C-alpha cells in the first residue's frame, strides 16, 4: 500500500496549500491573449504583474484507475469587465471528466464543448460540485471579492492540453454586468 | 453537453443531501456481522434499529473517463468499543481508486490491502483528503460526537463489491481506547 504521507493530505483554504504538493503559479503576464480587453490588459501589466492563481497538484499514483487531484486558489480582480480567470484547458485524454468542488469564495466555471462550441456558465461555490464532462474545455473565474479556492479531481491519465484553447480562446466571455457575471459571445463584445 | 442540472450539485452538510440524488440508508440491522462485540450489537438492536448512515450518489455519465461521486453522512455512536461504521467495500473494478474529502465532523478510514491484508487507519476530517488506492478495501468510522460528512469521487466504472468484506470482515478493528481511536488486529481482541 502507499505510504501514509501519500494517502492523506490537508488543504489550507487560506493559502490553497496542500501538504505534500508543490504549487504552480500564474501571473498576469502568463495570461496574455486570454482577456478580451487588450488595452485594459496592457495597462494592468504596465502597472505590475500580480499573481492571479496557483494550483497545487497531488499525484499519489499514475496507473489505470488512479486519480489525481489539485487545489486551485484564484485571486479576486478584473481586467476591464472580465474577472480574473485561469488559462483553461482540455484534457489531453479527451474522455477524462473532472470533478470540481468549491471550498471558499465565489466564482463561476465556463464550460465549452470542444466539438460544438456550446458554452455554459455554472456556479462554483462552497458546497457546490461542478461536473466537467470529457471533451469539454473549462476555465474558472473569481466573481467575488475574496480568493476562490476549489478542488479538482480527475483520472490520473487525463493530462492537460492548454494549447488548443490558448490558440483560439474560448468562444464566450464572462463579464461583470449590472453587478453580476454574465455570459456573452466573444464576437458580440 | 450535459444539461445544467447534471453539471452542478449542491451538498447540504447538515443533512448529507445532494440536489438531484436519491439516498441509500443503512440501519443497524444492515450491519450484522460488522461489529466485533456481537453481544453489544444484539443488545443495541433489541433496543431499536437506528439509522447509521446514508449515501447519496451522483452519476452524471457512465462512459470511459467519467467520474461518479457521493456524499456520505455517518452518525455518531458506538457498539461496545467500536465506532459506528460503514459496511466497507472493494471496487468491483479493482484498479479503481477513490478520493475522499471530509466536509464536517471527525472520523477515520480503515484501509486494507486486499492482497496482503496490510491495514492503515487514516484521519477523515474537514479539509483533509484521503486517497484510497485500487485493490484496497475501505470502511469509514465516525469517531466524534456529531455527524461525519464526506465526499467520495471514483471512476464511473469502479462499481462496488460488498461481498468479499462482508464474508471475511476487515482484518483490523478501530476501537475507542483512552478516549481515542486505536487500530487493533481483530484476532487480538
B173 shares contact with chain A (CB less than 8 Å):
no
A172 shares contact with chain B (CB less than 8 Å):
no
- The answer to whether the Cβ–Cβ distance between B130 and A64 falls below 8 Å is no
A170 shares contact with chain B (CB less than 8 Å):
no
Closest by Cβ to B9, choosing from A7, A129, A133 = A129
Q: CA-to-CA distance for B14 and B104, rounded, in angstroms? A: 9
ipTM score of the complex?
Answer: 0.94
B131 shares contact with chain A (CB less than 8 Å):
yes
Q: Nearest CA to A79 among A31, A32, A44, A29?
A: A44
Considering only CB atoms, which chain B residues are within 8 Å of A11? 127-129
Tell me, rounded to whole angstroms, the distance of Cα A142 from its chain centroid.
9
Q: CA-to-CA distance for B41 and B22, rounded, in angstroms? A: 28
Q: What pLDDT, on the 0 to 100 scale, is given for residue A28?
A: 98
- The answer to whether the Cβ–Cβ distance between B65 and A93 falls below 8 Å is yes
Containing H/E element for A28? none
Considering only CB atoms, which chain A residues are within 8 Å of B149? none
- pTM, to two decimals: 0.95
- The answer to whether the Cβ–Cβ distance between B128 and A101 falls below 8 Å is no
What mean pLDDT comes out for the span A146-169? 95
> What's the full length of chain B, in residues?
189
- The answer to whether the Cβ–Cβ distance between A60 and B97 falls below 8 Å is yes
Q: CA-to-CA distance for A145 and A122, rounded, in angstroms? A: 18
B20 shares contact with chain A (CB less than 8 Å):
no
A115 shares contact with chain B (CB less than 8 Å):
no
User: What is the per-residue DSSP string for A109-160?
Assistant: EEEEETTT--EEEEEE-BTEEEEE-TTEEEEEEE-SSS-EEEEEEEETT---
Mean pLDDT, chain A, whole residue set: 94
The C-alpha cell that represents A79 in the structure block: 481586467
B59 shares contact with chain A (CB less than 8 Å):
no
Tell me, rounded to whole angstroms, the distance of Cα B79 from its chain centroid.
16
Sheet holding B136-142, edge to edge: B119-124, B107-113, B136-142
Q: What pLDDT, on the 0 to 100 scale, is given for residue B16?
A: 66
How far does B179 lie from chain A, in Å, by closest CA?
A: 23
Report the relative pairing of strands A51-58 and A23-27 from DSSP bridges: antiparallel
Tell me the pLDDT tens digit for each residue of A1-14. Answer: 677 777 888 887 66
Q: CA-to-CA distance for A161 and A137, rounded, in angstroms? A: 9
Q: CA of B66: how far to CAs of A25, A145, B63, B131, B136, in Å? A: 28, 33, 5, 18, 21
Considering only CB atoms, which chain B residues are within 8 Å of A103? 127
Task: Pick A137 or A3 by higher pLDDT.
Answer: A137
Q: CA-to-CA distance for B188 and B127, rounded, in angstroms? A: 33
What chain A residue is nearest to B136 in terms of C-alpha separation?
A1
B82 shares contact with chain A (CB less than 8 Å):
no
Q: Nearest CA to A35 among A85, A106, A99?
A: A85
Q: In a 3-state reduction of DSSP, which class is residue B4?
A: helix
Tally Cβ neighbours within 10 Å of residue A29.
Answer: 12
Q: CA-to-CA distance for B118 and B110, rounded, in angstroms? A: 10
- The answer to whether the Cβ–Cβ distance between B4 and A113 falls below 8 Å is no
What chain B residue is nearest to A3 in terms of C-alpha separation?
B120
Q: CA-to-CA distance for A111 and A107, rounded, in angstroms? A: 13
Q: CA-to-CA distance for A137 and A134, rounded, in angstroms? A: 9
Residues B126, B104 contacting (CB under 8 angstroms) = yes
A45 shares contact with chain B (CB less than 8 Å):
no
Containing H/E element for A63? none
Average confidence (pLDDT) per 10 residues, chain B, 189 residues: 78 73 91 97 97 94 95 96 98 98 96 96 94 97 97 96 94 96 93
The C-alpha cell that represents B17 in the structure block: 443531501
A69 shares contact with chain B (CB less than 8 Å):
yes
State in Å, rounded, how far the first CA of chain A is from the last one: 54
Q: Which of B107, B122, B131 to mutate to test the interface with A (most CBs of A within 10 A)?
A: B131
DSSP tag of B145: S
How far does B75 lie from chain A, in Å, by closest CA?
A: 20
Residue B111 CB partners (closer than 8 Å, separation 6+): A1, A7, B119, B120, B121, B122, B132, B136, B137, B138
Q: What pLDDT, on the 0 to 100 scale, is given for residue A3?
A: 76
Closest by Cβ to A155, choosing from B8, B130, B155 = B155
What letters, b where the CB count within 10 A reaches 16 and e where it falls short, cover A114-123? eeeeebbbbe
The C-alpha cell that represents A172 in the structure block: 464566450
Tell me the pLDDT tens digit for each residue of A12-60. Answer: 766 767 777 778 999 999 999 999 999 999 999 999 999 999 999 999 9
Q: What pLDDT, on the 0 to 100 scale, is given for residue B169?
A: 95
DSSP tag of B116: T
Amino acid at each position: 500500500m502507499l505510504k501514509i504521507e501519500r494517502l492523506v493530505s490537508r488543504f489550507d483554504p487560506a493559502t490553497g496549500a496542500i501538504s505534500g504538493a508543490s504549487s504552480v503559479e500564474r501571473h498576469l503576464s502568463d495570461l496574455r491573449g486570454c482577456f478580451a480587453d487588450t488595452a485594459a490588459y496592457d495597462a494592468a501589466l504596465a502597472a505590475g504583474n500580480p499573481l492571479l492563481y496557483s494550483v497545487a497538484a497531488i499525484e499519489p499514483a499514475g496507473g489505470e484507475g488512479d486519480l489525481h487531484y489539485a487545489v486551485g486558489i484564484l485571486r479576486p480582480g478584473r481586467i476591464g469587465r472580465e474577472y480574473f480567470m485561469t488559462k483553461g484547458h482540455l484534457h489531453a485524454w479527451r474522455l477524462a471528466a473532472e470533478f470540481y468542488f468549491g471550498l471558499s469564495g465565489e466564482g463561476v466555471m465556463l464550460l465549452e464543448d470542444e466539438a460544438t462550441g456550446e458554452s455554459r456558465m455554472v456556479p462554483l461555490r462552497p458546497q457546490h460540485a461542478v461536473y466537467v464532462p470529457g471533451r469539454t474545455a473549462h476555465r474558472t473565474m473569481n466573481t467575488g471579492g475574496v480568493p476562490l479556492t476549489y478542488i479538482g479531481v480527475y483520472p490520473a491519465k487525463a493530462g492537460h492540453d492548454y494549447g488548443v484553447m490558448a490558440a483560439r480562446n474560448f468562444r464566450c466571455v464572462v463579464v461583470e454586468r449590472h453587478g453580476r457575471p454574465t455570459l456573452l459571445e466573444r464576437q458580440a463584445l
